[in-house]
Structures are given as C-alpha cells and as structure tokens.
Structure 1
Amino acid sequence: MPEAYEFFAGGGMVRAGLGENWRCRFANDIDRKKAAAYRENWGDEELFVGDIAALTPGDLPGEADLMWGSFPCQDLSLAGAGAGLGGTRSGTFHAFWDLARGLAEVRRAPRIVAIENVCGALTSRGGRDFEILCRTWADAGYAFGALVINADRFVPQSRPRLFVIGVRGDVPIDPDLIAPGPEEPFHPIALRRAAERLPEDLRAKMVWWRVPTPVAAVTELAALTERDSTGIRWHSAAQTARVLGLMSPVNRAKVEAARRAGGRQVGALFRRTRQDGEGRKVQRAEVRFDMAGCLRTPGGGSSRQALLVIENGAVRSRLMTARETARLMGLPDSYRLPASYSAACHLTGDGVAVPVVRHLARWLFEPLLAGGESARRAA
C-alpha cells in the first residue's frame, strides 16, 4: 500500500482523493479550525497542527511514496499583491521543500513530490516563480512536469489549478506516461508559454506528463443543490429583484429561457464589473445554468457563492449551503463539515477538488509507483 504525507492538509481532501488504497502517514496544517474538521473525518493519529517550518525530517515517519503540498495561494493569485514565492503565505513552499531536502539528506527522499496551486503561479513575478518551482525539482534530481487541470472536468465548478509533479531520479518511468510534447487539455497555452520562458536547461529537463481526459459526464449543477429545508435561507423578494435588475438583456434572456423550460432550473450567480455603452464601470449580475464559479474562502462579496433557483415559474435566490460547496469539491455527503457556515465554506474554498486527486492517483501516481516497485523486485 503506497504511503503519503499531506501538507497544508486542510480537511484532508487529498487523502479523500487518494482513497482507501493509500495510507496517510503524516498530515499537517496550521489552521486549528481546519484541523478540527480533519480530526472529525480522519482522526488525529497522523495529524500535526502547527507551523510547517517547525517540523524536521525526524518528525515524519517512514518513507513517503508521495509528498503533497497545497501551499497557500494568496501571494500567487491574480488578485493578490504579487509577492509570489517571496511572500509570507505562498513562501511557505520553501519550508515544504526544506523538509523534502532534509528527507533526501537522510536517504528518505519521497518518490513523488507534488504541489497544487493557482494558475497565477505560471506568471507571477514575470514567470520567475514558475522557474523557481521547476529549478527546485531539477536541482534535487527529480524528473518534473506540470499540468493544469480544471475541476470542471469532474464537477460543475470552474476551478483550474496548476499541479507540478516530480519523480525521484531513480524511479523508472513508463514511457507511456510521458507525451512527446504538450497535449490538450492539461497542457494549455498558459502552461506552454510558461515553459517556453524557462531557461534552456530547465526546458530540456521538463517532461510533459500524459494523463487521459476523463470521459464520464459531469453531474449537473442542479443535481448537487439541496431542495427546500430548514437550513436554507432564501433572499427576500426585493434582494432577488435587485439581482435580476443588475442583469444585462443577455442574462435576463437566460433566466426567461430557464423559466419557460419548466421543471427546476438552478443557475450560479456571478457579480461582475463591466463597462456600459459610454465606457463607465457598472456592476452586473450574470448567471450560468451549467457551472458554478470557483469556490473561494468567505472573505468578501465576490466570494459569496449564490444561486438562482427557478421552479414552478417562481424565481428565487440564495447563498449556497455549506453542503453544496462540499459537493462541488467532490466530497461525499458522509464527510463531516464544521457546524459554522463560515468555517465550512473556508474549508471547501481552500481545498483541492477530490476527483482531480483521484484522477492523478489513478493515471499517474499509482502507475509510477507500480513501475518503480516492479523494478525493485527485478533487481
């Protein structure tokens, strides 16, 4: 059974994605509210709550097949201040890699080291941060490559994320796991441009991981939303009317088409700043009936995930429930969420989509480890 370390673990969504055929040997997060959710779902035997910078290789048991880090994104986000990997939050990547380096020094280097973060990491500080990431793996003797995977391939949420995955130099790699060059959909133009900006020596070392495109149909947004219950708080009629009033003719037409279609139609609401015909900035409301926007932590108006529900000709609006945000992350209903709405949305908005992790585990991590295990047995 392969073993994993999960850093910046939150509520253990990577653990959920890896599945029952993996063993988590160590998990870490500094946020005590998220750690409480982790304990509720996984227990606390493997969990260390505290600053990753306080850890040493001696605190980590065994030898990990996979070391995963979903380090904070704020300094890399397009909405952030642009501090990049030099920032206090996203800069925790360096503490993560210090541990990986320390493990290597005691001959316990993880076979696979993977990180997940926002796609802003491709362009932050003019591409220097992506170069730092790639250089880190290369200098450690890992074969490395990157993927951009949008969770909308699995769940009705637009959530593109960058994954950089390195494999220890002595682990055999099946040639079928490497493409001859970038391939759609997981090597989009933004990633290809970032790779082209790398110094020549790094470009030569970078590989293009081959991961198949999922073929299963994505569940409709409406199917993940809850029906009327005591836990749902609807907006007032005036609040809904205001949202509809902020819509352009195109978006109002979407609402009318959904009303005419009958049945129960559920759309995700978005607030945007647009220019009117005279070039003035105005607030607009937009709606999509197929896909929710990227979940965020509840830190401001733009992060409040709202729905428009049309049923029996009536149009109502409300915030998403905590359970709905969990479903959009691919978590089962058996997953225990914090009782606080804000804490639950912070947990899900900061997490990694569970089915994306499962896809990577099935099509990349597990084949890589199986190849390495076969080679060790043959030796």
Structure 2
Amino acid sequence: MPTPDAPLTVKPQVLEFFAGMGLARLGLEAAGFDVVWANDYESDKRALYQGHFQDEAAGHTFVLGDIGLVAGADLPRGAALAWASSPCTDLSLAGGRAGLAGRESGAFWQFTRLLDELGADRPGVVVLENVVGLATSHGGADLTAAVRAFNALGYSVDVLTLDARRFVPQSRPRLFLVGALNPPADGGAPSAELRPDWLRRPFDDPTLVTHQAALPEPPALRSTGLTGLTEDLPDEDPRWWDAVRTQAFLDSLSPVQAARVQALQRAAAVSRRTAYRRTRKGVAVWEVRADDISGCLRTARGGSSKQAVVELGDGRVRVRWMTPREYARLMGAADYDLSGARTNQALYGFGDAVAAPVVAWLATHYLRPLVERSASRMTAEVVGASR
C-alpha cells in the first residue's frame, strides 16, 4: 500500500463525457491519465475518435447516444476523474444565449445527474470545460448555478480560464471548473492570468464553496506561428481559389483591410494570415487578421464560420480554405489520424473541441497532483483507521 504523498503507481482512470473526437483525451493521457470510458451523441465524432485511438476492442468503451439515456449504473467504478466538455451552443456569443436552460448546453444537468447516481463511487475530481460565455451567461447566474450544482455533490470548485493561444497560434479562450471532494488549500495570491477580475464572482459569493489552487503562471500568449504551421500547397493544387474568386475576395475588403493586405503583398517575405467572412450592414465582406495567429476555429456550418488562409508576399495574393490538417495543428493534435475522414467531418470535429495542449497543461499542473493528493489522503485515512 502506498504511503501518504507517494505518487500513484498506476494511471488514474477517467470518464470522458461529451468526448467529441477525443482531444481532451489526448491532453489527459499526455499527463498520465487513462481514459477508460467516453460518450458522445455525434456518430461522425465517434468515427473520428475510434479511427484515431482504435482501442475499443482493448477495453475502452465509447457509448454513442444521448447522455440522458445513460444511467449511473452503466458507468465504470473506480475512476479518479470525470471530464465534461459539455455543449457550448447556448452559451456562446454565436448562439442564442439560452444558457444552461438551453436544449444543448442544458446537457450539463445530465452530467451532474450521473455524478449523483454514482453516489460514493463518484470521482474525487471533476472538470467542466466550456466557452468563457458561461461566466457571463444570464448575468453570471449560470456559472453560479453550475458551481452550486457541484457543491451539492460535495465538490469544492475552482474556476479558471486558459487560452489555447498560450500553446498554439490560435486564439481560443476556454473556461474550466475544477471540482474536488478533497480540495487543496488556497494558494495565496491568485494568478491574474488564470483568474482575471471577470471571474471573481464565484469566489466572492459566500454561499458557494470554492478554492483557488496554487498553480504556475501559464506560458505567455503567442502572437506568431501561423505562417510556419500552415501547409505548403503547390501552385497547381485545386484548393487555391481561382482569379475570379480571389478578386471578389479582394474587392470585399474595407480600405483598412485592403491596405493591410497590400502591405503584406509588397513584402519580400511570404506570410500567411487567416480571414473570416463577416456580414456588415447586410453585405458579406472579408476581414484579414493583422497578426500571425488564427482566429478561434469554429464548427463548419454554413460556410461563413470557416477560416480562409491568405498567402501574401513577393507581389502575390493567394486564398484558400484552411485544411483539416491545419485545424489539427492549431488544436495541438498535429498527428491526429484523419485517414478516411471527410473534410467537413474533420473541420466540425476540431471546431467543436478543446485544444489538447491546454488540457495537458491543466492535467499536469493541477489535475494529476490533485488526484494524487486525494489518493494519498484516502490511503492515510485507511491506514489510520486500521491502527
């Protein structure tokens, strides 16, 4: 039997809810966790998940279907961590902001129901990952409700934010609620990077049970890296837009945007930028980022949410849609197996996921030590009771 404070000798097991294509799993396994069970209701995402991990026959279980149809009795016992990247549709600025009462984001309540049904077998640590819109949804009431729901199950809750831009050249801020049955002591002065002022509400509410773990400062926000990450497609590749479509792109630019593009076009060095199609005063226009990073990848619905890559320099301008492999790289999953995946299937899967290196950082610096601390404490209690 391990002594208190000794590191775990076996990989802690994880239940992965709203698993999508498994990018949270990539990050968790990089930190030494073992994801043994997963669930999602999208068959296309399950196909991507299984195509990459190929381990269902080796004991991993993926349950395809509505989480509302899963019962606590169906879940494996003994998991140390439950991870939930619950749907963000009703919390995102791009959605209707129905919040946790919405049809999709309301699936959060099915997650807490299952934790409740696990009873004494519920994991010692839980994580809810979502868009930062959860912090402001319904004036902060939805975030308070989520914290309170975890409190009702015995979890103290920490709330923090991390942007994928700290690890990859993509702006993708996300919110994380970390619940612990055996929380750590507060870690002194909270990090303004991880817990900025707009996240103070839960900690200032005396009716909520919260903690703030001591964590290292995360890496600085990146401002470059996209150009070197994008694929080098040959001139004859049919994915480059033709002259007519490229000119229509240029004609849609505002004077500010056009000046930005022209300056980069005149440069001797070739660079790449991402562009989004927006609707301004009822007119579709393109906007090109000024920096060498990507905007937040989104699900490929309706075309307008997709990003284009604009190659500029040496007097030329070329435009094309971003490729699935570029999406993979921007999500920190460069080696993800996409063989057999349809383009829109891959774009949708990545656009709806959490960046793997963000999860790896959180799991390495917070979740794994928290799980080990919890296991050591339980071991000490057992040893003490047996004396």
TM-score, normalisation: structure 2: 0.87
| AA matched with 1:223 | G
Q: 2:148 aligns with which of 115, 135, 138?
A: 135
Q: Is the 8 A contact 1:24 1:46 kept in 2?
A: no
The Cα of 1:181 is off from its aligned counterpart by 5.0
More deviation, 313-322/262-271: 262-271
Q: Is the CA contact 1:5–1:68 (under 8 Å) kept in the aligned structure 2? A: yes
2:212 counterpart of 1:208: yes
Task: Tell me, yes or no, if the aligned pair for 1:181 and 1:208 is still in contact at 8 Å.
Answer: no
Q: Equivalent of 1:254, from 250, 257, 260? A: 260
The residue number in structure 1 matching 2:121 is 108
User: Partners in 2 of 1:232 and 1:69 — Cα distance?
Assistant: 39
C-alpha deviation, 1:78, in angstroms: 1.7
**Match of 2:80, as an amino acid?**
D
Cα shift readout 1:68-88 (whole Å, capped 9, x = no counterpart): 111111111122223211111
Question: Which residue of 2 is the match for residue 60 of structure 1?
Answer: 75
Residue correspondences, number? 363
More off after superposition, 205-214 vs 35-44: 205-214
SS of residue in 1 equivalent to 2:317 = strand
Q: CA deviation at 1:262?
A: 2.0
Consecutive unaligned residues of structure 2, counting only runs of 5 or more, are: 1-10
- Structure 2 matches for 1:179-258, cutoff 5 A? 179-180=187-188, 182-192=190-200, 194-195=201-202, 199-202=205-208, 205-215=209-219, 218=222, 220-229=225-234, 233-258=239-264
Q: Shift in Å at residue 118 of structure 1?
A: 1.1
Residue in 1 that maps onto 2:288? 287
SS at match of 1:370: helix
After superposition, the Cα gap between the structure-2 partners of 1:350 and 1:172, relative to the gap in structure 1 and judged at 3 Å, is closer
**Aligned-pair distance for 1:239?**
2.0
Tell me the residue number matched to 2:51.
40
1: distance between equivalents of 2:95 and 2:183?
A: 39
Q: CA deviation at 1:377?
A: 3.8
**2:150 is aligned with 1:149:** no
Displacement after TM superposition at 1:337 (Å): 5.5
CA distance in 1, matches of 2:202, 2:183: 24
Shift of 1:327: 0.9
Q: What is the match of residue 277 of structure 1?
A: none
Secondary structure of the 1:262 match is coil
Task: Indicate whether 1:300 and 2:302 are aligned.
Answer: yes
Normalised by the length of structure 1, the TM-score is 0.89
Deviations 1:248-278 (A, max 9, x none): 333333223323432320001123455xxxx
Contact 2:132/2:173, CA 8 A, preserved across alignment: yes
Asked whether the 8 Å contact 2:14–2:36 carries over to 1, the reply is: yes
Aligned-residue offset at 1:213: 3.0
Offset of residue 310 of structure 1:
1.7
Over 3 Å counting, the alpha-carbon distance change for 1:337 and 1:128 in structure 2 is farther
Give the match's secondary structure for 2:35: strand
What residue number does 1:22 align with? 33
- CA offsets, 1:346-371, max 9 Å, x none? 10001110000000001000111222
* Superposed CA RMSD: 2.2
CA deviations on 1:163-188 (whole Å, 9 max, x unpaired) are 111001xx252x4xx34354221212
Report the residue type matching 2:310 in the other structure: L
In the other structure, the counterpart of 2:18 is 8
The percentage of counterpart residues that share the same residue type is 41
Partner of 1:80: 95
SS at match of 1:298: coil
- Deviating more after overlay: 27-36 vs 119-128: 119-128
Query: Which letter maps to 1:285?
Result: W
Distance 1:134 1:100 in 2: 14
SS in 2 for 1:336: coil
Contact 2:311-2:317 at 8 Å conserved across structures: yes
Decide whether the 8 Å contact of 2:37 with 2:62 is kept in 1: yes
| Distance verdict in 2 for CA 1:334–1:294, change over 3 Å | closer
